Homo-oligomer: A and B are copies of this chain.
Amino acid sequence: MDSMMMDSMKSMDMMPGMEAMDMALMQACMDACSACEQACTVCATQMMDCSPACMNCADMCNTMMRAMMRMQGMTPAVMMSMLDACMAMCQLCMDMCMKHEAHSEVCRMCAAACKACMDACMAMRASMMAA
């Protein structure tokens, strides 16, 4: 996510509670979701037993990324529920891809992208709890 575009998001009206969000963490989280969607999409085309989890993870990460870009249609409580779902899905996808890390470079990169996405979601969720 481009930082100029990010700045412009801040100027739009938001729902109560959303204006307190840490925009730097959110930008990092959107980028991690985007990278994870891409890694999962490539990994899913390998047609290994992780593929269906990768497809689910790609869709969930795209939905999560878009939701962070639409703060006008979101509350902190719904955002946290979606972050939980996204972290759970990333964890499952990572676990499945890790089983192939010895022989598939794509799975290894996909697992790393899932881990980075999970961490970014966790950091964002923690900052929302603290707010």
By a beta-carbon cutoff of 8 Å, the part of chain A in contact with chain B is 1-2, 4-5, 8-9, 12, 30, 34-35, 38-39, 41-42, 44-56, 58-60, 62-63, 65-67, 69-75, 77-78, 81-82, 84-85, 88-89, 91-93, 96, 105-106, 109
Contacts and interface: CB of A to CB of B under 8 A. Distances in A.
Contacts of A12: 45-46
For this chain, the copies found in one complex come to 4
Given A30-B38, A62-B63, 18 more contacts: A1-B38, A2-B35, A2-B39, A8-B42, A38-B69, A42-B70, A47-B48, A47-B49, A52-B71, A56-B66, A56-B67, A56-B73, A59-B66, A78-B88, A78-B89, A78-B92, A84-B84, A85-B85
